[in-house]
Amino acid sequence: MEFNPFVKKYRKGMRRVALVYPNRYVGGIANTGLQYIYAKINELDAVCERFYSDVFDGLRSVETATPLSEFDVALFSLQYETDYFKAVEISRNFRGLKIAGGPCVMENPKPLLRYFDAFFIGEVEGHVEEILNAKDVEDLQGLPGIYTGREESVRRVYAKLGKHMQREIIGYGAYGRCFLLEIGRGCIRRCRFCIVRQIYFPPRWRKREMLPEVGEDKVAIIAPSPSDHPEFREILQQYVDEGKEVSPSSIRADTLDEELVDLLKLAGVKTLTIAPEAASPELQEILNKGIDAEDVYHAAELARGRFDKIKLYYMIGLPGENFSDVEAIVEQAVKVKGYVRKVEVSVNPLVPKPHTPMQWLPFGGKENVKEGINELRKKLSLIAERCRKAGIETDVSGVREFILQTILSRGDEDVVEVMEGAGYRRFGKYLEAIDVSSELPWDFIDHGYRKSSLLREYEKIFNHSTQD
């Protein structure tokens, strides 16, 4: 069951808006952007209802079970490339105006041009009403952030963070039943693999006075790196003093000290999650995350006696990576297990994302992509087997999903055929290294950075990987 303070009955003459999240309810209800859009539309002379892939197969609304076909406009939120398949399936059942947004659209909407009338590139706060006033594609053209396939370039729209929503839908989502509190957007760090800094620049924080009173017993603190917020500890302390359970979306290992881990324990945190991404110093340099082995071990030492478990996130398939770098992941996890009883290791292959300095790299980290993919499978098996012997839990992904993510994030209009049943092997060119002088499918999006700055960072990656 959920609490929905915005639910609204349809009256004749109202515009019906479908808000479609082509994935499971637990992810959709934990999305602050969707919460905002839903509340905003229901303030207007319109009614908004939600659609999730695991509720009526995404074809009827959560609120009234009304068929998607009876709505006037459908707004799709695309958070993950693998959601494209369900998004295409759902969109085929709708003949009204279809507009897609979300981080994947901000990354590269070209693979989905065939299935959507328009895309909104950016953060939608302040633009919901003008988008809904559009009756057709012609009305949308020329609006900030709108891309219909005809524009030569589009400047990404960003929003100033104002006062936080006072109310929101409370349901059982990815963080459990809680109030979602977005304290920041964008990131101050310069990790070379991460798209967040590029598409949400500049980083912004909500001050404490912008945050609402929370009636729920649990608060989920949302930001790419919450502990970088200048008032993070004060915010955390405030909710702890109010007797609330608090769940931060992530914590950087290099921001931890005794005061903070004690606060996290008081907040009800049971598992300390750390993302070193790489265990060897050479690969840490390539990633430029700023977390080294000493930070990890210091965090583990602080966790001793305070947390039940530590979860460690890593990536493989990096340029210059060899099997000794992968073995270092297991060695690091074993050393962490010396501080806490339970350790879980999560490992994913790197997806060389658009708009990052790694966008030109081959998938798998090797010039010969087939060889790189074969090695990825061996490396994942090695990690799983050695962690099992060491009594360490593993969450080791398959390679296929990340091949698809790379093709769909770096592809052009032709990769729509993948969503229509064509084998992904036909699109292997999108897994290969990209010539830095090539025009890229996403070059038409102006995110406010200079491509030359990405090239300088790319050269640093190349220099590190060839020296090692």
Query: For the segment 384-413, what is each residue's pLDDT rounded down to a tens digit?
Result: 999 999 999 999 988 999 999 999 999 999
Q: Is residue 337 pLDDT above 80, yes or no?
A: yes
- CATH number belonging to domain 270-468: 3.30.750.200
What pLDDT does 144 receive? 97
What pLDDT does 250 receive? 84
Distance CA 387, CA 342 (A): 12
Of 126, 133, 223, 167, whose CA–CA distance to 39 is shortest? 167
Of 253, 362, 350, 234, whose CA–CA distance to 299 is shortest? 253
Distance CA 355, CA 192 (A): 10
What is the amino acid identity at position 11? R
Query: What sections of 92-149 are H helices per DSSP?
Result: 103-107, 128-132, 137-140
- Sign of the dihedral through C-alpha 417, 423, 424, 425: negative
Query: For the segment 93-145, what is each residue's pLDDT rounded down to a tens digit?
Result: 999 999 999 999 999 999 999 999 999 999 999 999 999 999 999 999 999 99
Residues whose CB is less than 8 angstroms from the CB of residue 204 and which lie 6 or more positions away in sequence, other chains included: 160, 161, 184, 185, 186
Strand pairing partners for 155? 446
What pLDDT does 432 receive? 97
pLDDT over 90 percentage in the chain = 96
Query: For the segment 301-324, what is each residue's pLDDT rounded down to a tens digit?
Result: 999 999 999 999 999 999 999 999
What pLDDT does 326 receive? 96
Four-CA torsion 330, 335, 337, 343, nearest 10 degrees: -40
Intrachain domains 178-265 and 270-468 with the same fold: yes
**pLDDT tier, 425 (very low <50, low <70, confident <90, very high otherwise):** confident
Strand 309-316 with 342-349, pairing: parallel
**pLDDT tier, 191 (very low <50, low <70, confident <90, very high otherwise):** very high
Of 271, 327, 276, whose CA–CA distance to 298 is shortest? 276
Distance CA 312, CA 310 (A): 7
Distance CA 1, CA 139 (A): 39
Q: Locate tokens 């590190």: which residue?
A: 464
Distance CA 114, CA 96 (A): 14
- CATH number belonging to domain 15-155: 3.40.50
Residues whose CB is less than 8 angstroms from the CB of residue 32 and which lie 6 or more positions away in sequence, other chains included: 168, 180, 182, 222
Q: What is the mean pLDDT of residues 403-428?
A: 93
Residues 177, 220: contact at Cβ < 8 Å? no
Domain ranges of the chain: 15-155, 178-265, 270-468
Indicate the SS3 state at residue 36: helix
Q: Locate tokens 């038409």: which residue?
A: 444
Query: For the segment 234-261, what is each residue's pLDDT rounded down to a tens digit?
Result: 999 999 999 999 999 889 999 999 999 9
Q: What is the mean pLDDT of residues 355-362?
A: 97
Q: What is the mean pLDDT of residues 400-428?
A: 94
- CATH number belonging to domain 178-265: 3.30.750.210
